[in-house]
């Protein structure tokens, strides 16, 4: 595959030139033009590295397209795969929440195990456009989270785990009133129902959270699986993460937590929707504020796959970043955090995972996605 007249974005610079991919690897990068007739003319469109997504809940949207409606999980996975590939994502970590708990997403052990097994089977048969890995989101304040983790710990695609506690009064939901408002998005609760739920969840938190967090972290260390913290709010949360050897802080909710993560050399990942919308939907710290303070390392599409590319370009126009640095938050930085050394940049010898992007009226539009030199979207 030979591409000419592409606006190439490498780790350090951007220029118009030529890229050649041979046997799935980048074999040539050069500024200027080529007279080779076989070259495909990209007409000035951007040539970016394929995007690397470490945390997406997108499968859950397809598993439950309406409240109370559970969709065929295999069909949901295939639609999710097509959607991420069309957004320019060539490597995706499917975030599956484990730990059975009412009113906190799709956390049922049976469903998530089915999804994990189907992802591996589809990948083995070459049915997926992007390359998929498994990210186990461990709800530590639940009775069965360690059991479910153990059942999936030998999964061949497991590459990342995170420890989280969505108990009202903790971290993201430090204000139980906001937690209740979120739960009521599909219908009002009675005070009695809310009170009973709060009491039950608080009891689970006291019984399980600290114990299960330690057990999950210990298991991940033994397996060599990197661990992320989730929704760190206080400096004490980050200090605990540092003691646990955690390498990634997902969605810190305050400036203080993000500053502490930087001090402890823990990479900070923020939601691209936070960047695109100009702020957090739940009132937490703005990702753009962190970017302007030099405290943002990685973007995640979280719940909107298309936000990843838009968010990276928004870092240029809203936070004053240089384009190579901004693109790095969705390519080289997440690849490095996950230990993937063969991708994440337009560089000689790396995989030919690239995406063609037009830029029209301020909007980056993915036109074609290639994985190891083969078009997948």
Examine the pLDDT at 145 and tell me if it is beyond 60: yes
Q: Is the pLDDT of residue 74 over 60?
A: yes
Q: Does 34 reside within a domain?
A: no
Determine the pLDDT at residue 214.
96
Give residue 178's pLDDT: 66
**Which residues, including other chains, have CB under 8 Å from residue 124's CB and lie 6 or more apart?**
none
Q: Torsions phi, psi of 161, nearest 5?
A: -135, 155
Q: What is the pTM of this model?
A: 0.91
What percent of the chain has a predicted confidence (pLDDT) above 70?
92
Q: Beta partners for 38?
A: none
pLDDT tier, 108 (very low <50, low <70, confident <90, very high otherwise): low
How long is the chain? 377
The residue that leads in pLDDT, 184 or 294, is: 294
CA-angle at 132, arms to 7 and 122, nearest 5°: 125
Is position 330 within any domain? yes
The reply to whether 39 falls in a domain is: no
pLDDT at 125: 97
Query: Which tens digit of pLDDT belongs to each residue from 36-72?
Result: 999 999 999 999 999 999 999 899 889 988 877 889 9
> What mean pLDDT comes out for the span 134-163?
95
* Strands of the sheet with 89-98, listed across from one edge: 51-56, 89-98, 131-139, 158-164, 227-230, 248-250, 267-271, 298-300
- Residue 160 lies inside a defined structural domain of this protein: yes
- Which residue, among 265, 311, 305, has the nearest Cα to 288 in the 3D structure? 311
Judged against a pLDDT cut of 80, whether residue 93 lies above it is answered with yes
pLDDT tens digit string along 281-328?
767 899 999 999 999 999 999 999 999 999 999 999 999 999 999 999
> Chain-wide mean pLDDT for the chain?
92
Q: Does a structural domain hold residue 236? A: yes
What's the pLDDT score for residue 186? 65
Q: What value does the mean pLDDT take over residues 129-149?
A: 94
pLDDT band at 185 (very low <50, low <70, confident <90, very high): low
- Asked if residue 115 is part of any domain, the answer here is yes
Torsion sign across C-alpha atoms 69, 75, 77, 79: negative
Q: What is the pLDDT of residue 2?
A: 97
Task: Tell me the percentage of the chain whose pLDDT exceeds 90.
Answer: 77
Q: Calculate the CA 179 to chain-centre distance.
A: 23
Least confident of 69-73, 74-78, 370-374: 69-73
Q: What is the CATH number of the domain that holds 58?
A: 3.20.20.140
User: Which pLDDT score is estimated for 102?
Assistant: 63
pLDDT in the model for residue 244: 96
Question: Is there a domain that residue 356 lies in?
Answer: no
Containing structural domain, residue 293: 50-344
Report residue 182's pLDDT band, with 50, 70 and 90 as the boundaries.
low
Span 166-184, average pLDDT: 66
pLDDT attached to residue 103: 54
Number of domains in the chain: 1
Q: What pLDDT score does 206 carry?
A: 84
29 assigned to some structural domain: no
């Amino acid at each position: 595959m030979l591409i000419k007249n592409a606006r190439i974005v490498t780790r350090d610079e951007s220029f118009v030139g030529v890229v050649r991919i041979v046997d799935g690897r980048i074999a040539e990068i050069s500024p200027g033009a080529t007279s080779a007739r076989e070259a495909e003319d990209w007409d000035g469109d951007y040539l970016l590295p394929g995007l690397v997504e470490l945390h997406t809940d997108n499968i859950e949207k397809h598993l439950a397209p309406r409240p109370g409606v559970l969709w065929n999980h295999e069909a949901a996975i295939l639609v999710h795969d097509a959607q991420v590939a069309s957004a320019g994502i060539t490597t995706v970590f499917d975030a599956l929440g484990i730990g059975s708990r009412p009113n906190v997403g799709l956390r049922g052990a049976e469903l998530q195990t089915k999804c994990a097994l189907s992802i591996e089977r589809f990948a083995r048969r070459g049915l997926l456009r992007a390359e998929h890995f498994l990210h186990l989101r461990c709800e530590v304040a639940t009775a069965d989270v360690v059991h479910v983790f153990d059942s999936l710990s030998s999964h061949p695609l497991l590459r990342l785990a995170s420890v989280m506690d969505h108990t009202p009064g903790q971290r993201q939901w430090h204000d139980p009133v906001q937690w209740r408002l979120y739960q009521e998005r599909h219908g009002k609760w009675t005070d009695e129902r809310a009170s009973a739920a709060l009491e039950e969840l608080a009891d689970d938190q006291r019984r399980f959270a600290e114990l299960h967090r330690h057990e999950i972290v210990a298991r991940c260390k033994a397996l060599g699986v990197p661990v992320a913290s989730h929704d760190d709010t206080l400096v004490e949360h980050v200090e605990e993460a540092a003691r646990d050897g955690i390498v990634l802080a997902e969605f810190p909710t305050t400036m203080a937590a993000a500053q502490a993560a930087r001090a402890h050399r823990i990479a900070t990942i923020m939601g691209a929707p936070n960047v695109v919308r100009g702020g957090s939907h739940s009132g937490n710290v703005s990702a753009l504020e962190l970017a302007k303070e030099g405290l943002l390392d990685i973007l995640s599409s979280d719940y909107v796959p298309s936000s990843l590319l838009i968010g990276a370009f928004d870092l240029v126009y809203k936070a004053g970043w240089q384009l190579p640095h901004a693109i790095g938050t969705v390519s080289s930085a997440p690849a490095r955090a996950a230990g993937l050394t063969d991708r994440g940049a337009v560089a000689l010898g790396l995989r030919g995972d690239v995406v063609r992007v037009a830029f029209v009226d301020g909007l980056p539009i993915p036109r074609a996605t290639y994985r190891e030199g083969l078009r997948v979207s």
